[in-house]
Amino acid sequence: MFKSKSLTSLIIVSLLTISSSAMAAFDTVELNGTVLSTLAVEATRTTGANSAAALDLSFGEHIVKVADLEMSTNNEQGFSVTTSDGELTATGATSIAYVTHTVTNAAAAPANTVFGNANPNRASAGTLATDLYIMYSPAELQDPGDYVGEITVTITDL
């Protein structure tokens, strides 16, 4: 019986010695990755009668579709759209102010009361097609000349 206790004690002491001398070491691995934004906008100018290429500059208020816009993003929150208002100008002539607005692709022209309001946003990843309109009012005696203007379309990931 004494031998058995002695053997048991030896095994316990041996296990304690092994476990107390066991050491651990560790390190970390840093993980990184990047998803690039695919934010894009393409503006295609309208052509034909009463279009961006041939604006009607006769007296009175005009609402004209000037571009088809195709916008897209891979951002889950979507994007916002802004379009610049501006002026049609000609050398030595009084300018013609215009305001911009976008509507869903192929929708009816916007009413004059919505110009100056915010453009619709895309609320998720994907593509949005819209039509860009301007509203302008040449004077009754508008100065002769070749009038030009430019609209900046900006989209920003939300």
pLDDT band at 111 (very low <50, low <70, confident <90, very high): very high
Looking at the domain assignment, is residue 112 inside a domain?
yes
Residue 22 lies in a domain: no
Q: What is the mean pLDDT of residues 99-122?
A: 87
Residue 132 maps to a domain: yes
* 14 lies in some domain: no
Whether 9 is covered by a domain: the verdict is no
Does 28 map to a domain? Answer: no
DSSP per-residue letters across 99-134:
EEEEEETTPPPPPTTTTTSPPPPB-SSEEEEEEEEE
137: in domain: yes
Structurally, the chain folds into a number of domains equal to: 1
pTM score, two decimals? 0.79
Residue-wise pLDDT tens digits, 75-108: 999 998 999 999 999 999 999 999 999 999 999 9
Q: Residue 101 has which token pair?
A: 């607005």
pLDDT in tens, 131-151: 999 999 999 999 999 999 999
Q: What range does the domain containing 48 cover?
A: 40-157
Question: In this structure, are residues 110 and 103 in contact, taking their beta carbons and an 8 Å threshold?
Answer: yes
CATH of the domain at 99: 2.60.40
Residue 10 is given by DSSP the state H
Beta bridge partners of 119: none
For residues 7 and 94, which has the higher predicted lDDT (pLDDT)?
94
Q: How far apart are CA 63 and CA 134, in angstroms?
A: 6
Tell me, yes or no, whether 69 lies in a domain: yes
